[in-house]
Amino acid sequence: MSASWTPDTGPGPHEPGGAALVLIDLQEKLAPHIDGIGEALENVRKLLALAKLIDLPVLLTTQYAKGLGPTVPAVAEALDVEPIDKICFGCFRDEGFLKALDERVGPRATLLLAGVETHICVLQTALGALAAGRSTHVLADAAGSRSRANHELGLARMRQAGCVISSTEMAIYELLGDSRRPEFKQMLPYLK
């Protein structure tokens, strides 16, 4: 899998239909235990602001919400989509997720992944996305694990598998593509 967007992987990141954001398991009972969760949630907030401005599709998942609770309020309140509750660690093993992905995103979009835990659900979702032939970017500063070591190991494993490891700011600038876009000026308060 190519590390960048190419014509055979679909539209470019700043073209309509070029990307979708997948937010994985940002839940109330998990969040307090995640190393660096404050930074990750702040970066998710930036991504959601951009998603609204450029009509970037967003898919949201929860892992066994009955046990791990709902999505953290800061994320849930910023979205108008219902979470896809799953029991599989990787989203690509869940029929509800695959159906939503097909309906809202289609087959060619690049997936931008964020959420928890990096070395479990984010990793297994990334591997599933790659196996499905999707260009996959993991936003390292919008993801986390209970330990920094597992976060770093998860990122390394995804990089070795063919994912692009990126940051929130890198993704925002790639998706905008041009400082002349009105959305760029609207995003400036989030980028300072």
One of 25, 91, 94, 141 is an active-site residue; which one? Answer: 25
- The pLDDT score that the predictor gives to residue 13 is 52
- The pLDDT score that the predictor gives to residue 17 is 61
Tell me the CA distances in angstroms from 100 to 57, 107, 164, 173, one per residue in order: 11, 11, 23, 27
One of 46, 86, 91, 94 is an active-site residue; which one? Answer: 86
Name the percent of the chain lying above pLDDT 70.
Answer: 91
State pTM to two decimals: 0.91
Q: Which residue segments constitute the domains of the chain, with CATH numbers given?
A: 17-191 (3.40.50.850)
- The pLDDT score that the predictor gives to residue 15 is 54
Tell me the CA distances in angstroms from 5 to 8, 15, 164, 188, one per residue in order: 8, 11, 10, 25
Please give the angle made by the CA atoms of 15, 79 and 102, to the nearest 5 degrees: 55
pLDDT tens per residue, range 118-163: 999 999 999 999 999 999 999 999 999 999 999 999 999 999 999 9
What is the C-alpha separation between 190 and 33, in angstroms, rounded?
26
Q: Is 121 known to be catalytic? A: yes
What is the C-alpha separation between 117 and 42, in angstroms, rounded?
16
Considering only residues 15 and 78, tell me which one the structure prediction assigns the higher pLDDT: 78
One of 46, 121, 141, 163 is an active-site residue; which one? Answer: 121
Considering only residues 57 and 1, tell me which one the structure prediction assigns the higher pLDDT: 57
Q: Is 86 known to be catalytic? A: yes
Cβ neighbors of 139 (< 8 A, separation 6 or more) are 43, 47, 112, 113, 114, 166, 167, 168, 171
Residue 107 binned pLDDT confidence (cut-offs 50, 70, 90): confident
Nearest in space to 129 (alpha carbons), one of 16, 24, 11: 24
- The pLDDT score that the predictor gives to residue 108 is 72
For 93, left (φ over 0), alpha (ψ -120 to 50), or beta? alpha
Q: Is 94 known to be catalytic? A: no
Q: Which two tokens stand for residue 190?
A: 């989030």
Q: Is the pLDDT of residue 16 over 50?
A: no
Residue 109 binned pLDDT confidence (cut-offs 50, 70, 90): confident
Average pLDDT, the chain: 91
- The pLDDT score that the predictor gives to residue 106 is 87
Q: Which two tokens stand for residue 57?
A: 């599709």
